[in-house]
Amino acid sequence: MDFSGRNIMSIQDFSRDELEHIFKIASDMEKFVKTGSDMLKNKILANLFFEPSTRTRLSFVSAMYRLGGKVLGFDDPKMSSRAKGETLVDTIRVIESYADAIVIRHTIEGSVTLAAEYSNVPIINAGSGTLGHPTQAMLDLFAILREKNTIDGLTVGILGDLKYGRTVKSLAYGLANYDVQLVFVAPEQLRMRRDVLEDLSEEGKSIREVSDLDEVISDLDVLYVTRIQEERFPDPSEYEKVKGYFRINRRTLKSAKDDLIVLHPLPRVGEISTDVDSTKHARYFKQSSYGLLVRMALLSLILS
Ligand code: CP
């Protein structure tokens, strides 16, 4: 399977076989976390973050360092020539001669696709508006696989801001490659977009939508919790109506299956109480550590 020079734009561009190949390489990468490797010696990654990030940006940096590569870029667009009015296309045309691949996170949908149209080096979408976050979906699937030993046969609950959250959409499309039952848990105002539901239904997925987690908690094998994306609400008063809608705590999980795992792409801002952290269900910090392995795998496949 040849991934050399490939863009990573959407989880929908990857077949189940390709995802499983990435997961195999990600597991192989575990040994290099301790020993390091010079696999990407002389390769340079550009990290262009027009939006805040901790995990995605730093795990790409760490992945390059662990594989012997180097990283340049910015995480504050106000300190780049964007602040002087430079267009994204011009920025890409310049940076492509400085780096072998470019990771971009941007506020505007379509910006990452536009960058890929003009770039001679691979573009990796690290989150684009309210649409996709494909490498997050890959690490989420990898986390489920590693923590449950399978994805097929599971009932996966996805809870929180399904309207504005991008990780939930990418994860739902990624899960559509597997034989899973999907349960979407959100208040009316934050339900999954109709077009995504239609796409999933075309893929033969039967989806249950509820607004109350208590209705379904005992059915779930995986509970994927997300933050309400305050920064993406067009109207702050709408955010106030749903703010604090969910708060998962030990009591919420009382009727959960013994082997339920709780995931969250992080950052959390109150949707999972810290009293869950020490339960057998909590896997969100482990999940973020899998991001390093998956990003090491992707960079090695694209740049080798
Ligand atoms: N999960 C995720 O994308 O985290 P960051 O926003 O910190 O990168």
CA of residue 57 to ligand 1 center, whole Å: 8
Instruction: Show the ligand 1 pocket: residues with CB < 6 angstroms.
Output: 53-56, 136, 265-267
CA dihedral of 100, 299, 103, 151, whole degrees rounded to 10:
160
- Asked if residue 6 is part of any domain, the answer here is no
Looking at the domain assignment, is residue 2 inside a domain?
A: no
The mean-pLDDT minimum among 29-38, 105-114, 203-212, 230-239 falls in 230-239
Q: DSSP label at 19?
A: H
How many A from CA of 133 to the centre of ligand 1? Answer: 9
pLDDT greater than 80 at residue 135: yes
Q: Is 5 within a domain? A: no
Residue 208: pLDDT over 80 = yes
In the chain, the number of structural domains is 2
* 51 domain-assigned: yes
Q: Does residue 222 share a domain with residue 118?
A: no
274 & 157 share domain = yes
CA distances from 271 to 63, 252, 276, 290 (A): 29, 12, 11, 21
Spell out the alpha helix ranges (H) of the chain: 16-28, 30-35, 55-66, 88-95, 111-118, 134-148, 166-175, 194-202, 236-242, 284-303
18 with 120, same domain?
yes
The residue nearest atom 3 of ligand 1, judged by CA position, is 56
Same structural domain for residues 117 and 143? no
For residue 248, give the CATH number of its domain: 3.40.50.1370
| In-domain check, residue 170 | yes
Q: Which of 266, 292, 295 to mutate to test the pocket of ligand 1 (most atoms within 8 A of CB)?
A: 266
Q: How confident is the model at residue 277 (pLDDT cuts 50, 70, 90)?
A: very high
DSSP notation for 133-165: -HHHHHHHHHHHHHHHS-STT-EEEEES-TTT-
Residues 34 and 122 in one domain: yes
Domain that holds residue 146: 134-288
Ligand 1 atom nearest residue 56's Cα: 8
Residue 1 lies inside a defined structural domain of this protein: no
